[in-house]
Chain A
Amino acid sequence: MSVLDVAKAPAGRLSAWRSAARVPLVRRPGGRTLLGVIGSLGALALWELAVAVGVLPAQDVPPASEVLSELVRLLGESAFWNAVWRTLAGAAVGLGIAIAVGVPIGMLMGTSRLVHHALRPTVEFLRPVPGVALIPLAVLIWGQSVRAVWALVAFACVWPMLVQALYGAQGVDEVARDTARSFRLTRADRVRWLLIPSALPYIATGIRISASMALIVAVSVELLTGAPGLGSSIVRAQEATRFTEMYALIVASGILGIAINLAFGRAERYFLRWHQSQRPGEEA
């Protein structure tokens, strides 16, 4: 693999360090991060090389170095940060709507068989409907407004939220339930101290899954409808044939996606440190 060839260059110096410690770099603390950095630099070098030798057409794809310096330039532009902010805000509002709608319905379906059976067919049918099919309709209703972003993000994220809340409400442990009942906790207390805490890990997972989806949908809707944000900036850069800027914006949206994944993953672990799934060395 060509990625390996690039990575071989610094391997000589590394091997000295490695034999001294007698622990493979992969298993050393920080070693994985270091290797990740090396691998990423290697990929960038490969990109640079591919453009230089003409594997990638230079008029369509600028070299990595140019895209990166363009990205650095963008970081100093208020217009760029404005676009990032609009995208994040649109995604956040949509996600908020999805949580507000999906969680209560999901919890109801998870606790009441009646509600579950009443709504199941409708949910099962609507859930796999591709949100993209609704974009043309959203454009006719809201035009290039951020409302289109809200609506489609909410439509995409409401299903994972609903399903996770449903699993969470169903996942209340039977022994825990018996314990609560044997101590005669009232219904309200059982919801507060048993149902909600039990369902929380599932809901948190739903929020983490939905957050990255919300960003993807927000950028997509902006790109397709022209609503202001990162997505429409990409289209504008393309239409003005500022290709370097376009690639820099795409890289920025990917980095933003990773940042959101990491942030929500961290937050999930922090808030649920009591939960089994967060504890190593124990069967979850």
Chain B
Amino acid sequence: MSARAGRLGLEVGVTALIFAAIWLFTTSSDSYLVVALPDMLSRFREVWLFDRVGSDLVPSLVRMTYGYVTAVVVGVVVGVAIGLMPLLRALTHPLISFMRAVPPIALLPPAIIVLGLGNSMRVFIIAFVCVWPVLLNAADGTAELNKTLTDTARVYGLSIGQRLRFVILPAASPRIFAGMRTSLSFAVLLLVTSEWIASTNGVGSFLIQAQQTFRITDMWAAIILLGLLGYSLNQVFSLVERRVLRWHLRSTATSA
């Protein structure tokens, strides 16, 4: 009990110290880029609680959700299908690895050329970039299924539907989640950057306009928001992952 209290004290204490050091640094620095922490926070409150939530944050999140969900659905369906067919997997493997290796932002210029600067381009580019990590991992996870597992499923005469639902998807899900996590960071990246170019609303647009007009405090407020956004998305993702992969965490914990 006292050990736990000590741990908590350490965590809170050192974190508070780091926070205080940042506070002190930002208030004493005379660089124009550094804004005193209290000013940053109060500006953050003015802008993001909740003045521009409806006009900027929500449109950004809606775009990202559409793009990301599409990518996950397509990636899992196509990936599992490829994973189940060794010939198809061998044929497509270099192509998928290539698409996975292309820096996501490099696809932004062609997307703008082909699709223009509309909202649909932004959703499309997020979906297009996010699909590859999910697809690659779903295919690999399915193809590398434990032989004993698939043999068991066949011996007990499970239908393909049952096999998909009770054997293949669960067994491949740790890999699928790994791909989804990479894709989530790609989604945030593209969400911000796709809004930098000729967008009138969105968090990314707000951030870049603040920078270009040297509204440094606004820029910091947007950085804080994106930090919080990244943190909360990560927390939500981990929560979902822990629930879905409970069996996986348990079985690996006992065998370790």
Contacts and interface: CB of A to CB of B under 8 A. Distances in A.
Contacts of B188: 130, 132
Interface residues of A, number: 68
Interface in B45-92: 86-88, 90-92
A128 B219 CA distance: 19
Interface in A96-149: 113-114, 117-122, 125, 127-130, 132-134, 136-137, 139-141
Contacts, number: 175
A136 B95 contact: no
A161 interface: no
Contact of A257 (B33, B92, B101, B107): B101
Interface string A1-31: 1011001000000000000000011110001
Q: How large is the interface on B (under 10, 10 to 19, 20 to 34, 35 or more residues)?
A: 35 or more
Q: Interface majority SS on B: helix, strand, loop or mixed?
A: helix
A197 interface: no
A121 B15 contact: yes
Interface in B94-109: 94-95, 97-109
A255 interface: yes
A38 interface: yes
A243 interface: yes
Given A113-B7, A243-B113, 7 more contacts: A25-B87, A32-B90, A39-B93, A130-B192, A133-B226, A215-B103, A253-B106
Given A250-B107, A254-B102, A136 B91 contact: no
Interface stretch (A182-190, A216-224, A270-278): A216-224
B14 interface: yes
Interface in A193-228: 212, 215-216, 219-220, 223-224
Nearest to B237: A128
B97 A132 contact: no
Interface in A26-54: 26-27, 31-32, 35-40, 42-43
B38 interface: no
A234 interface: yes
A4 B88 contact: yes
A117 B19 CA distance: 16
Nearest to B109: A238
Given A121-B11, A139-B211, A257 B226 contact: no
B11 A129 contact: no
